[in-house]
């Protein structure tokens, strides 16, 4: 059975690194893996998405509407934008950070209010937390991606060491310590969020 993960966010937030680490991890577990990304225009602060699919045999490189088991959103508005892609019993992990897009900055559009609550009211299983503050705690807002992976780690039964190894193999040596710390903070935050919604193990995908 193929599993679908989507990583969505704003160009420049480091979604590509997150998908690369996930890809590495699934590869070491002997799954077939495909990781799709779109380069180009999207890097200049546009809405970005990467797809990570794994299973015995993966054909399509992309995830379509209604197919995602997990969506990891790096930004709140992007969570709302991409929620159509979530499966009925899928999980939406989202950073609660808001980044205003140009139409909001110029006053043409308004940033929607209470996105997280609205998503929950729709019946979406939302795990939202402030990944930016945690990333800043380890020293760089750039670590948001790894903080989110730390949270995501609860949905898989990889060992902590396996996660660390995947991170180590994908980031430059001088950033390894900072990123491992970011991962640990995200993982810790995950315990808290998940305990609160009282739904800890049922979403484990392996």
Partner 1 sequence: MSKCLMLGNEAAARGLYEAGCEFVSSYPGTPSTEITEFAAKYDDIYAEWAPNEKVAMESAFGASFAGKRSFCGMKHVGLNVAADPLFTLSYTGVNAGLIIGVADDPGMHSSQNEQDSRHYAIASKVPMLEPSDSAESKEYTKIAFELSEKFDTPVILKMCTRVAHCQGIVELEDRDIVEDVEYVKDPQKYIMTPANAIKKHPIVEERLEKLRKWAENSGINRIEEGTSNEYGFITSSTCYNYVKEVFGDKYPVLKIGLINPLPNNTILNFASKVNNLVVVEELDGIIEQHCNTLGLKPIGKDKFTNLGEFSQTIVANAFGIKKEVPFTFKEELPARPPALCAGCPHRGIFYVLHNRDITVHGDIGCYTLGAMPPLNALDSTVCMGASVSGLHGFNKVAPERANNTVAVIGDSTFMHSGVTGLINIAYNESNSTVIILDNSITGMTGHQQNPTTGINLKGDPAGKVCLEDLCKSIGIKRVRVIDPYDIKKSEQVIIDELDADEPSVIISRRPCALLKNVKHPGPIKCDTEKCVGCKACMRIGCPAISMVKDKAFIDETLCVGCGVCGQMCKMGALPLRKEADND
Residues in contact with partner 1 by the rule CB under 8 A: 10-11, 20, 23-24, 27, 32-47, 58-62, 64-67, 77-78, 80-81, 83-84, 86-88, 100-112, 118-119, 122-124, 141
Give the relative orientation of helices 160-170 and 144-152 as an angle to the nearest 10 degrees. 150
Query: How far apart are the two ends of the chain, measured CA to CA in Å?
Result: 10
Cβ proximity to partner 1: between 144 and 187 the closer is 144
Query: In the complex, what is the shortest distance from the CB of residue 106 to partner 1, in angstroms, rounded to a whole number?
Result: 5
Distance, CA of 88 to chain centre: 18
- Whether 71 and 79 have beta carbons less than 8 Å apart is answered as yes
Cβ proximity to partner 1: between 75 and 187 the closer is 75
Q: Pick the closest to residue 140 from 186, 166, 178, 98 (CA basis).
A: 178
Query: In the complex, what is the shortest distance from the CB of residue 191 to partner 1, in angstroms, rounded to a whole number?
Result: 26
Cβ proximity to partner 1: between 146 and 187 the closer is 146
- Whether 71 and 90 have beta carbons less than 8 Å apart is answered as yes
Cβ proximity to partner 1: between 37 and 164 the closer is 37
Distances (CA, A) of 74 to 30, 48, 106, 112: 28, 10, 22, 16
Cβ proximity to partner 1: between 32 and 162 the closer is 32
Query: In the complex, what is the shortest distance from the CB of residue 56 to partner 1, in angstroms, rounded to a whole number?
Result: 12
Query: In the complex, what is the shortest distance from the CB of residue 62 to partner 1, in angstroms, rounded to a whole number?
Result: 6
- Whether 35 and 98 have beta carbons less than 8 Å apart is answered as no
Query: In the complex, what is the shortest distance from the CB of residue 192 to partner 1, in angstroms, rounded to a whole number?
Result: 25
């Amino acid at each position: 059975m193929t599993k679908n993960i989507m990583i969505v966010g704003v160009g420049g937030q480091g979604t590509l690194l997150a998908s690369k680490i996930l890809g590495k991890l699934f590869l070491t577990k002997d799954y077939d893996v495909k990781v799709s990304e779109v380069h180009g225009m999207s890097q200049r602060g546009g809405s970005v998405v990467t797809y990570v699919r794994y299973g015995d045999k993966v054909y399509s490189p992309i995830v379509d509407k209604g197919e995602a088991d997990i969506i990891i959103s790096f930004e709140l508005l992007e969570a709302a934008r991409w929620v159509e892609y979530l499966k009925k019993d899928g999980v939406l992990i989202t950073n609660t950070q808001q980044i205003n897009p140009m139409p909001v900055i110029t006053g043409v559009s308004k940033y929607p209010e209470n996105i997280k609550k609205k998503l929950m009211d729709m019946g979406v299983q939302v795990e939202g937390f402030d990944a930016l503050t945690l990333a800043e705690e380890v020293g760089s807002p750039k670590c948001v991606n790894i903080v989110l992976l730390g949270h995501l780690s609860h949905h898989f039964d990889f060992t902590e060491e396996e996660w660390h190894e995947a991170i180590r193999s994908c980031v430059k040596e001088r950033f390894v310590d900072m990123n491992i710390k970011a991962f640990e903070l995200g993982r810790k935050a995950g315990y808290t969020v998940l305990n609160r919604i009282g739904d800890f193990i049922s979403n484990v995908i392996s």
